[in-house]
């Protein structure tokens, strides 16, 4: 009988392990940055080319490795972080499985240069697909430089599943931000295609957040701190008025390791309940320090999910801590029953004994006594007579006083002679019912021959604006209105870079830009249908949509831009519209190519047949 079970070759096993460890170039960046931190580096540089597909390089000044360690680092399950199974529950490092370098070397060309402080020369190792191609002595500074080239070169199917360069670059920047925020005391530098993207000097957490997200972020942060026997919480939350619709600035760190937890996020959302608008997400940068023995971080290949021993207590502690911070900094109203009332007393009066107030009363005053008429008494100044409420109507004649009796009689006879028509309203009023009216400031109702037409005003306006914007972008004939004073809008470096990629399309819609700085954009003109106050909202909404999807094709980018701007510019639900605006919107809607669906393929209008009404009364 033939044996069917066989041991897999090492290179095949490494490729299978790479499927768990390396999902995209950002996964390689995460592993290499964490290895540099575990090596005790104080300065770390990340270099990428073509979104990491061509090159990912991490340079650090850590402790380095000798010749033997450099060779063993690429073997499976080789690690210096743990020695026994018990060490898994007392981890203070990032990596511990010993599969990262072995998995990366199985699917890329890897070059390692490393040297310890005690060695005079370093070691260079080149690996291609788990096979060591060369190992030699090299002159290199203390620390390690590891270069990963041609990722997934031997697995073309995996390479084809990678997204576009902007999308993969965004994932790399996200991983870079997570590691940089977890270690604000270290120096980080990121170079993308030869240009510096981030240069973050070692500082405190608040300054690190400001260096990443922009200088305007400083005024948005509210500090959070609490220390208990179970957990130590510190960090910052973003003020409720700056909450966004997307989940962008949300970071949880447990023992300086970035994690994702819907359970803890719900605790933060509960603390912000009633302070943020519906659909908006609070931002936070929260660090939780717990006993390593009380958590299990080895439940997910990417180590972004962990298990707590007592997650209910941490939930309650986190929610109470954030609520206390929001109230302490006057972000949320609170009632503090333990407040010391002595703080309300001015310092100059704190030592004085209290004195009873004196009340002076005129006991001879009689409100019903008629004052004697005063004679010719002269006053030092001329006193004007106090105005009386009847004086507001002085000089006005009532309409009834202008109508004489003959007119009343004539009108009375005319009303009596009119024939009875049995209608509650006259003809002009009856004709007006064939127009439109608004229901709940959300729907536009219009009678039609078969019944009623119900139009969703927000989705209808989206369709109208979408087709208009898409035409302007394509034909490049948009009309702009110049601003008297240009707007200076603040964004993060990442957001400015994203807006630069769609600058040309935005100009075709009617935007006019001035100077572009690292964290500021000057807007000197906006589209005709856009108010000055809407410019910032439109660009922020566009950034959120671009963050979710960055298409490569020009048409797809134009389509995304038109959808995003139409969503921001469309009349909102709850806005009252007068009759002329309602009718104009209906006419514009039926002039569109696809009036029945919104840009997101949601129904814009429905019809209700009169037979449906008849059935309700049977």
Helix (H) or strand (E) holding 55: strand 55-60
Is residue 171 within 8 Å of residue 162, measured between CB atoms? no
Q: Check residue 287 and give its pLDDT.
A: 94
Q: 87 is written with which tokens?
A: 């060490």
Buried b / exposed e across 425-452, counting CB within 10 Å, b at 16+?
A: eeeeeeeeeeebebeeeebbebeeeeee
DSSP H stretches of helix in 195-278: 205-213, 262-271
Confidence of residue 300 (pLDDT cuts 50, 70, 90): low
- Each domain of the chain, given as residue ranges in start order, spans 10-85+92-200, 214-328, 454-590
Q: pLDDT tens across 358-408, in order? A: 877 788 887 777 655 544 444 444 444 444 444 434 444 444 444 454 544
Q: 486 is written with which tokens?
A: 């240009």
d(CA 119, CA 64): 10
**Residue 284 predicted with pLDDT over 60:** yes
- Percentages helix, strand, coil for the chain (3-state, rounded to 5) are 40, 20, 40
Q: pLDDT tens across 411-438, in order? A: 444 444 444 444 433 444 334 445 788 8
Is residue 17 within 8 Å of residue 10, measured between CB atoms? no
Q: 110 is written with which tokens?
A: 């890897």
Q: Pick from 596, 603, 536: which is nearest to 568 by CA?
A: 536
Helix (H) or strand (E) holding 565: helix 554-569
Radius of gyration, alpha carbons of the chain: 36
Helix crossing, 165-182 with 25-38: angle to 10°?
Answer: 20
Mean pLDDT on 218-244: 89
Output the CA angle 52-53-58, nearest 5 degrees: 35
d(CA 250, CA 306): 17
Confidence of residue 186 (pLDDT cuts 50, 70, 90): very high
Write the CATH number of the domain with boundaries 10-85+92-200.
Answer: 3.30.565.10
Q: pLDDT tens across 380-392, in order? A: 444 444 444 444 3
Place of tokens 């070397």: 105
Q: 106 is written with which tokens?
A: 């199985």
| Of the ranges 88-92, 181-185, 486-490, 560-564, the best mean pLDDT one | 181-185
Provide the β-strand partners of residue 196. Answer: 191
Q: Check residue 555 and give its pLDDT.
A: 55
d(CA 414, CA 419): 10
Q: 216 is written with which tokens?
A: 């305007």
300: DSSP letter:
S
Fold held by 214-328: Ribosomal Protein S5; domain 2 (3.30.230)
Strand 43-49, strand 187-192: pairing? parallel
Q: Check residue 82 and give its pLDDT.
A: 58
Strand 131-138, strand 122-128: pairing? antiparallel
Helix crossing, 535-548 with 493-501: angle to 10°?
Answer: 90
Q: pLDDT tens across 310-338, in order? A: 888 899 999 999 998 888 876 665 555 55
**Residue 51 predicted with pLDDT over 50:** yes
Q: pLDDT tens across 453-468, in order? A: 899 999 999 999 998 8
Please tell me whether residue 316 adopts helix, strand or coil conformation.
helix
Residues ≥6 apart with Cβ < 8 Å to 517: 496
Beta strands per DSSP E along 116-204: 122-128, 131-138, 143-149, 187-192, 195-200
Mean pLDDT on 142-152: 93
Q: Check residue 209 and give its pLDDT.
A: 92
- Report the percent of the chain where pLDDT is more than 90: 23
d(CA 425, CA 275): 48
| Of the ranges 188-197, 214-223, 372-381, 555-564, the best mean pLDDT one | 188-197
**Average pLDDT of the chain, as a whole number:** 80
d(CA 375, CA 373): 7
Write the CATH number of the domain with boundaries 454-590.
Answer: 3.30.1370.100
Q: pLDDT tens across 331-351, in order? A: 665 555 555 555 556 656 666
322: DSSP letter:
H
Strand 43-49, strand 55-60: pairing? antiparallel
Q: Check residue 47 and give its pLDDT.
A: 95
């Amino acid at each position: 009988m033939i044996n069917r079970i066989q041991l897999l070759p090492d290179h095949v096993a490494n490729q299978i392990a790479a499927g768990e460890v390396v999902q995209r170039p950002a996964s390689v960046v995460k592993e290499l940055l964490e290895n540099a931190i575990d090596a005790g580096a104080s300065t770390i540089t990340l270099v990428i080319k073509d979104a990491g597909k061509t090159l990912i390089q991490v340079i650090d000044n850590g402790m380095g490795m000798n010749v033997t360690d450099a060779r063993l680092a690429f073997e499976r399950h080789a690690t210096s972080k743990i020695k026994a199974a018990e060490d898994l529950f007392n981890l203070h490092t990032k990596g511990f499985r010993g599969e990262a370098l072995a998995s990366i070397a199985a699917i890329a060309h890897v070059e390692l240069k490393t040297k310890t402080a005690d060695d005079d020369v370093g070691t260079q190792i080149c690996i291609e697909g788990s096979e060591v191609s060369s190992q030699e002595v090299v002159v290199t500074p203390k620390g390690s430089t590891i270069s990963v080239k041609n990722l997934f070169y031997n697995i073309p199917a995996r390479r084809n599943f990678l997204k576009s360069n902007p999308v993969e670059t965004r994932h790399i920047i996200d991983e870079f931000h997570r590691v940089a925020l977890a270690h604000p005391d270290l120096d980080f530098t990121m170079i993308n295609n030869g240009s510096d993207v981030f240069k973050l000097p070692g500082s405190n957490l608040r300054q690190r957040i400001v260096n990443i997200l922009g200088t305007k972020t400083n005024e948005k942060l509210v500090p959070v701190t609490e220390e208990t026997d179970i957990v130590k919480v510190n960090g910052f939350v973003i003020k409720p008025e700056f909450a966004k619709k997307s989940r962008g600035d949300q970071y949880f760190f447990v023992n300086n390791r970035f994690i994702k937890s819907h359970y803890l996020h719900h605790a933060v959302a509960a603390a912000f309940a009633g302070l943020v608008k519906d659909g908006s997400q609070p931002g936070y940068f929260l660090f939780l320090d717990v006993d390593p023995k009380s958590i299990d971080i080895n439940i997910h290949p990417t180590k972004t999910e962990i298990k707590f021993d007592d997650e209910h207590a941490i939930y309650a502690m986190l929610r109470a801590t954030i609520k206390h911070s929001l109230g302490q900094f006057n972000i949320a109203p609170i009632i503090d029953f333990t407040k010391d009332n002595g703080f309300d007393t001015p310092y100059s009066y704190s030592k004085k004994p209290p004195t009873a107030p004196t009340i002076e009363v005129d006991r001879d005053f009689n409100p019903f006594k008629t004052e004697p008429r005063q004679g010719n008494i002269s006053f030092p100044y001329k006193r004007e007579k106090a105005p009386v409420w009847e004086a507001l109507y002085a000089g006005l004649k009532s309409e009834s006083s202008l109508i004489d009796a003959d007119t009343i009689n004539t009108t009375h006879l005319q009303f009596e002679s009119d024939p009875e028509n049995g209608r509650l309203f006259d003809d002009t009023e009856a004709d007006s019912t064939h127009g439109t009216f608004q229901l709940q400031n959300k729907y536009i109702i219009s009678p039609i021959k078969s019944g009623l037409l119900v139009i969703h005003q927000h989705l209808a306006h989206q369709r109208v604006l979408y087709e208009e914007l898409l035409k302007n972008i394509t034909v490049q004939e948009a009309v702009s209105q110049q601003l008297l004073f240009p707007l200076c809008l603040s964004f993060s470096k990442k957001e400015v870079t994203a807006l630069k990629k769609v600058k040309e399309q935005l100009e075709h819609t009617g935007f006019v830009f001035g100077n572009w700085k690292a964290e500021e954009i000057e807007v000197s003109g906006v589209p005709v249908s856009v108010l000055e106050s809407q410019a910032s909202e439109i660009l922020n909404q566009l950034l959120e949509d671009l963050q979710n999807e960055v298409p490569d094709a020009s048409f797809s980018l134009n389509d995304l831009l038109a959808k995003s701007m139409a969503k921001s510019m469309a009349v909102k639900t709850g806005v009252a519209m007068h009759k002329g605006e309602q009718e104009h919107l209906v006419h514009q809607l039926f002039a569109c190519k696809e009036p029945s669906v919104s840009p997101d393929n949601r129904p814009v209008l429905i019809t209700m047949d009169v037979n449906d009404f008849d059935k309700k009364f049977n």
